[in-house]
């Protein structure tokens, strides 16, 4: 009987290029899986790695250059506050200095490369620019207020859907997997207190159906400045990792037809690795997301086998 690892190996498309400016041929199998969406979310298992940032940059390139996406929602800070939206539109200002005032996980060479690429694209296409998404100055008014992080998740969903409706743009949302996965609900560990609630991706799927697509950027082993061992057997990532041996990475369509034994495993409740800024390798088992299955969280997985730390701005 075919194993899950064998099925993933057979049905995934290998990634051969790594750098943001390299050809996109290996990523093109992703395009038909997301091109009809109005919002495509790229959810990274960690915001602290060079490789997940680079593959996200390459996906942004693919969707902007070939599939008509024109807004990028970059999670975690406000491009307008920093002046980055003006820079990509006009070239005014110093993006290095602007990013120096951003939150820590934006202060990287990888994010600066993305900003420079957006400006370069707009110089080549002044009549059809790509832009940063903005969010409403005042939150959407609700009759009820949610507790804790649940309110943040609904606010994130409100913001990106407001921008998409306002502009009509096809939007790429690049952020953390805890927000972008379709969680109805989902649980993030460690958190104090432990909270389970609907997240941004859950709200957007509920409101938009297949017009919202969730892409999970998963990883195997390597380093985020601290050692990152191969995923433990109780994580679904262990199956993704086993299927990635001898490959830099791959694209896997989770919506494709699956034999019954494979479907049961990929639809079963599980855990996936989630590495935040307070990761402790001595307590690796504590850092995960639960409350769903691989196939319910993501429409597509883009897996990277080996990761290294993001490069801080000099």
Mean pLDDT of 163-176: 98
Residue 93 CB coordination number (10 Å):
14
Render pLDDT for 51-87 as a digit per residue (tens, 0 to 9): 999 999 999 999 999 999 999 999 999 999 999 999 9
Burial (CB count <10 Å: 0-12, 13-18, 19+), residue 88 = buried
Residue 194: band (very low, low, confident or very high) from pLDDT cuts 50, 70, 90: confident
pLDDT of residue 277: 85
Q: Which of 30-39, 147-156, 281-290 has the highest mean pLDDT?
A: 30-39
Residue 122 CB coordination number (10 Å):
19
Backbone angles phi, psi at 229, to 5 degrees: -80, 170
Q: Among 6-20, 62-76, 180-194, 289-303, whose mean pLDDT is lowest?
A: 180-194
Kindly list the distances between the CA atom of residue 137 and the CA atoms of 78, 130, 163, in Å, as whole numbers in the listed order.
Answer: 11, 21, 11
Contact 249, 55 (CB under 8 A): yes
How far is Cα of residue 168 from the mean position of the Cα atoms in its chain? Answer: 21
Mean pLDDT of 19-31: 98
Mean pLDDT of 275-287: 91
Q: Among 15-19, 39-43, 169-173, 262-266, whose mean pLDDT is lowest?
A: 262-266
The count of C-alpha atoms lying within 13 angstroms of the C-alpha of 33, restricted to the half-sphere facing its C-beta, is 23
Render pLDDT for 250-260 as a digit per residue (tens, 0 to 9): 999 999 888 99
pLDDT of residue 143: 86
| Average predicted confidence (pLDDT) for the chain | 95
H, E, C per residue of the chain? CCCHHHHHHHHEEEECCCCCCCCCHHHHHHHHHHCCCCEEEEEECECCEHHHHHHHHHHHHHHHHHHCCCEEEECCCCHHHHCHHHHHHHCCCCHHHHHCCCCHHHCEHHHHHHHHHHHHHHHHCCCCCCEECCCCCCCCCCCCCCCCHHHHHHHHHHHHHHHHHHHCCCEEEEEEHHHHCCCCCEEEECCCCCCEECCHHHHHHHHHHHHEEEEEEEEEEEECCCEECCCCCCCCHHHHHHCCCCCCEEEEECCCCCCHHHHHHHHCCEEEECECCCCCHHHHHHCEEEEECHHHHCCEEEEEEEECECCECC
Model's pTM, two decimal places?
0.97
pLDDT at residue 103 is higher than 90: yes
Mean pLDDT of 155-181: 97
Residue 284 CB coordination number (10 Å):
17
pLDDT of residue 1: 61
Mean pLDDT of 215-226: 96
Instruction: State how far the Cα of 60 lies from the Cα of 114, in Å rounded to an integer.
Output: 9
Kindly list the distances between the CA atom of residue 291 and the CA atoms of 26, 103, 311, in Å, as whole numbers in the listed order.
Answer: 32, 29, 32
């Amino acid at each position: 009987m075919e194993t899950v690892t064998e099925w993933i190996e057979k049905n995934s498309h290998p990634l051969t290029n790594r750098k943001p400016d390299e050809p996109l041929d290996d990523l093109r199998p992703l395009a038909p899986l997301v091109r009809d969406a109005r919002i495509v979310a790229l959810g990274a298992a960690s915001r602290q790695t060079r490789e997940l940032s680079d593959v996200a940059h390459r996906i942004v390139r693919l969707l902007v250059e070939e599939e008509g996406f024109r807004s990028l929602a970059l999670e975690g800070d406000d491009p307008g506050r920093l002046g980055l939206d003006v820079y990509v539109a006009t070239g005014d200002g110093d993006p290095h200095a602007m990013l120096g005032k951003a939150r820590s996980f934006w202060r990287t060479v990888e994010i600066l490369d993305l900003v420079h690429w957006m400006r370069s694209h707009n110089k080549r296409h002044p009549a059809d620019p790509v832009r940063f998404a903005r969010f409403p100055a005042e939150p959407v008014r609700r009759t009820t207020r949610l507790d804790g992080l649940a309110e943040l998740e609904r606010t994130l969903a409100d913001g990106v859907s407001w921008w998409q409706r306002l502009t009509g743009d096809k939007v790429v949302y690049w952020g953390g997997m805890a927000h972008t996965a379709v969680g109805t609900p989902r649980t993030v560990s460690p958190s104090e207190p432990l909270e389970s609630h609907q997240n941004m991706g859950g709200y957007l799927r509920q409101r938009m159906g297949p017009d919202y697509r969730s892409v999970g950027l998963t990883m195997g082993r390597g380093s985020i400045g601290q050692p990152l061992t191969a995923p433990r057997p109780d994580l679904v990532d262990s199956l993704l990792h086993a299927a990635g041996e001898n490959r830099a990475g791959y694209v896997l369509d989770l919506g494709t037809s699956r034999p019954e034994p494979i479907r049961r495993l990929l639809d079963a409740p599980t855990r996936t690795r989630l590495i935040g800024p307070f990761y402790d390798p001595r307590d690796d088992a504590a850092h995960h997301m639960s409350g769903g299955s691989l196939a319910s969280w993501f429409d597509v997985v883009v897996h990277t086998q080996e990761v290294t730390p993001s490069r801080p701005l000099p």
